[in-house]
A = this chain, B = another copy of it.
Amino acid sequence: MYTELTLADIVREHRRSRPHRTAVVDGKWHLTYGEFDARTDLLAGALAVAGAGHGSRILWIGENSYRVLELLVAAAKIGAILCPANWRQSADELRFIVADLEPAVVLWDPSVSSIEPESAPEDGSRWVRCTESEDDEYESWLSSSSAQYPAEEVEERDPVLLLYTAAFDGRPNGALLSHRALIAHGAVLAIQRQIEEGFVFLDSGPMFHVGTMMFATATLMTGGTNVVLRRFDPEIACELIERERCQGAMLFPAMISQLVETNSEGRYDLSSLRFAPADPAWNTMVTADTSPWGRSEYGYGQTEVAGMLTYHALGIDGQGSHGRPSPLTQVRIVDPEDRDVPDGQVGEIVARGSHLLSGYFNRPELDTEKFRGGWYHTGDLGRREADGTLSFIGPKLRMIKSGGENIYPAEVERALLAHPDISAAAVIGRPDDDWGQAVHAVVVIRAKSEEAEPDLIAHVRRLIASYKKPRSIDFVDAIPMRGFVPDYDALDSGFGGGGYPGS
């Protein structure tokens, strides 16, 4: 179809339209789009010889590298799928990924990878050693390729990037992102963040994470330059921003603090960087962005939507905390029966649109569940405010049913945490003869008075509907956690939880 557009098409067009522009900078490597397209032809040829083809998985276990971008585009050319894995994972975790993916080719850096080819299953996959010393196989492998690969029809809806998503319970799942999804998200990001002709982005966050990859692909899409930082180091980041005149970067507050400290004597010119205002020292070093995006860079996102589903900048003065949807998506807030809930009420965030995942790799049951009714179910709770803006409430995880009403622990926990004396809170459902379940809260309180329990219940009552308020509260020194969220199984067994709908 003449309207199809793949990442490979885009890079090929860059070779025609901007052959001498710099595509990627990484250490000694400075590749123009002409060179980048030619090298990814060689790489596609090498992948094909190694047995990779349409639908094959290519696994990268290593730090950030120009090779990740080359592999993405080479995979695009043959219809394969690149998975840049989190190289910090344990050997068991990486082994799970190898077994789950059955990759045709694994590219691994022995200096950071916790697994070796020997520990992988005997599946015939080709392992390519990637280092920066003489035992590197990548460059020789690439240069020995004839750049011949099957001219198979790659379609824009074919997946090209696979990112494993955090598993709150159980195994991680690989979200499949198509050419279409990456290109559509890149276009929206380009609108929001003024990613245009000549944009230079510092890939300072991990490339196995969508937060960095969404900027890397938007930069690639618009013919800009990706400057790769192997792993975050404030001195090297300052050097690169100055030398390459980076206009964007993936920076969290802790990283900004390190940059401010490193550059406290003004040794580096960071003025090319257009960034959200932070502390005063930062604002004088960079070009503080005063647009709505500059005032608020966040939104609500997920790996599964290729990045961001809503942008706070689209409704920065609105009632909701997370703005409005990306222009290429649709969002509804629904109850467990997938009916729209009225504005102002909490429900699950469901979405459709041009930059949603194609599904999960090899998880047909999960796909059926997550895409029921033709809408992707995020597993997160949100609320549509009266002005149409959205608030993200928290992960759905589980639901309590009391007196026929649906009650999401996250909403009750949010109300509890709004009380100044409460530092942590978790909410469970206890079996109840009259109501099916009764809401029970487990909280950490800073100073406990005699009236703490009724006071807290009244506090919640003032914020949300009465049927959602806890019937009883336990006060503890710490909430058992599982990663970033309460360990609800431990809470259920420790505090009498149970009787959940569907259980």
A187 touches B222 (CB 8 A): no
B187 touches A328 (CB 8 A): yes
Give the interface segment out of A15-23, A38-46, A294-302, A410-418: A15-23
Q: How far is the CA of A316 from the CA of B181 in the complex (A)?
A: 30
A354: B residues at CB distance < 8 A: 3, 5, 183
A193 closest partner in B (C-beta): B191
A315: B residues at CB distance < 8 A: 17-18, 197
A375: B residues at CB distance < 8 A: 2
B16 touches A331 (CB 8 A): yes
A292: B residues at CB distance < 8 A: 196-197
A13, A352, A387 — most chain B CB neighbours (10 Å): A13
In the complex, per-residue mask of A329-363: 1 if CB is within 8 Å of any chain B CB, else 0: 11110000000000000000000111010100000
A356: B residues at CB distance < 8 A: 2-3
Interface residue from B18, B187, B371 paired with A388 (Cβ < 8 Å): B18
A314: B residues at CB distance < 8 A: 197, 223
Q: How far is the CA of A192 from the CA of B222 in the complex (A)?
A: 11
A2 touches B327 (CB 8 A): no
A191: B residues at CB distance < 8 A: 187, 190-191, 195-196, 222
Q: How far is the CA of A194 from the CA of B291 in the complex (A)?
A: 11
Is A180 among interface residues, defined by CB-CB distance under 8 A?
A: yes
In the complex, per-residue mask of A188-231: 1 if CB is within 8 Å of any chain B CB, else 0: 10111011110000000000000000000000011100000000
A13: B residues at CB distance < 8 A: 325, 329-331
B328 touches A5 (CB 8 A): yes
Q: How far is the CA of A354 from the CA of B183 in the complex (A)?
A: 10
A195, A327, A332, A358 — most chain B CB neighbours (10 Å): A327
With contacts A3-B353, A180-B3 taken as known, whether A17 is within 8 angstroms of B222 at the C-beta atoms is no
A9 touches B352 (CB 8 A): yes
B190 touches A330 (CB 8 A): no
Q: How far is the CA of A304 from the CA of B289 in the complex (A)?
A: 37
A355 closest partner in B (C-beta): B3
B3 touches A388 (CB 8 A): no
Is A60 among interface residues, defined by CB-CB distance under 8 A?
A: no
B197 touches A194 (CB 8 A): no
A2 touches B371 (CB 8 A): yes
In the complex, per-residue mask of A143-176: 1 if CB is within 8 Å of any chain B CB, else 0: 0000000000000010000000000000000000
Is A101 among interface residues, defined by CB-CB distance under 8 A?
A: no
A327 touches B388 (CB 8 A): no
Q: How far is the CA of A325 from the CA of B197 in the complex (A)?
A: 11
In the complex, chain A residues 30-66 whose Cβ is within 8 Å of any chain B Cβ = none
Q: How far is the CB of A494 from chain B (nearest CB, A)?
A: 40
Q: How far is the CA of A223 from the CA of B191 in the complex (A)?
A: 13
Q: How far is the CA of A18 from the CA of B188 in the complex (A)?
A: 18
A18: B residues at CB distance < 8 A: 315, 324, 387-388
Q: How far is the CA of A420 from the CA of B298 in the complex (A)?
A: 57
Q: How far is the CA of A180 from the CA of B156 in the complex (A)?
A: 13
B16 touches A157 (CB 8 A): no
> Beyond A13-B325, A184-B187, A221-B327: 7 further Cβ-contacts under 8 Å?
A1-B374, A3-B157, A4-B352, A187-B187, A191-B196, A197-B315, A197-B324
Sample 16 A-B pairs with CB under 8 A, ordered by A number.
Answer: A2-B352, A2-B353, A5-B354, A10-B327, A16-B331, A17-B325, A17-B331, A19-B387, A187-B328, A190-B327, A196-B292, A197-B314, A197-B315, A197-B324, A223-B324, A223-B327
A residues apposed to B, CB below 8 Å? 1-5, 9-10, 12-13, 16-20, 157, 178, 180-181, 183-184, 187-188, 190-192, 194-197, 221-223, 292, 313-315, 324-325, 327-332, 352-354, 356, 358, 371, 374-376, 384, 387-390
